[in-house]
Amino acid sequence: MGYEARAHTTPQDRRRTQGPSAATESTYETAVLVGGPADGTRIRVAGRPSVVQVTYPCELDGPAGGARADALFVYRRDPRVENEPLRYGADPASP
């Protein structure tokens, strides 16, 4: 089953990202997802977002008139990791 990952960068994330090795909006860094359903998945992120959302499509039992349902999993960046691969851990308290 496939999934989709989205990274959200906030103004606070951009302020925390400082120094010569800091990623800019056009520079991608490798990150690894730890725990949860996407455990071990490697992704590329720009700007060191604090949160990455991973969604899995859910099967619908009947006609939905174009609607779809996705299971949502949230991964939070580990601020202790400063070099690639960045680490995002599954947040079990998220929806």
Per-residue pLDDT of 45-75, as tens digits, reads: 999 999 999 999 999 998 889 899 999 999 9
Per DSSP, the residues of 27-87 read -EEEEEEESSTTTT-EEEEES--SEEEEEEEE--SS--TT--EEEEEEEEE-TT--SSSEE
Per-residue pLDDT of 68-87, as tens digits, reads: 999 999 999 999 999 999 99
Flag whether the pTM goes above 0.85.
no
d(CA 25, CA 23): 7
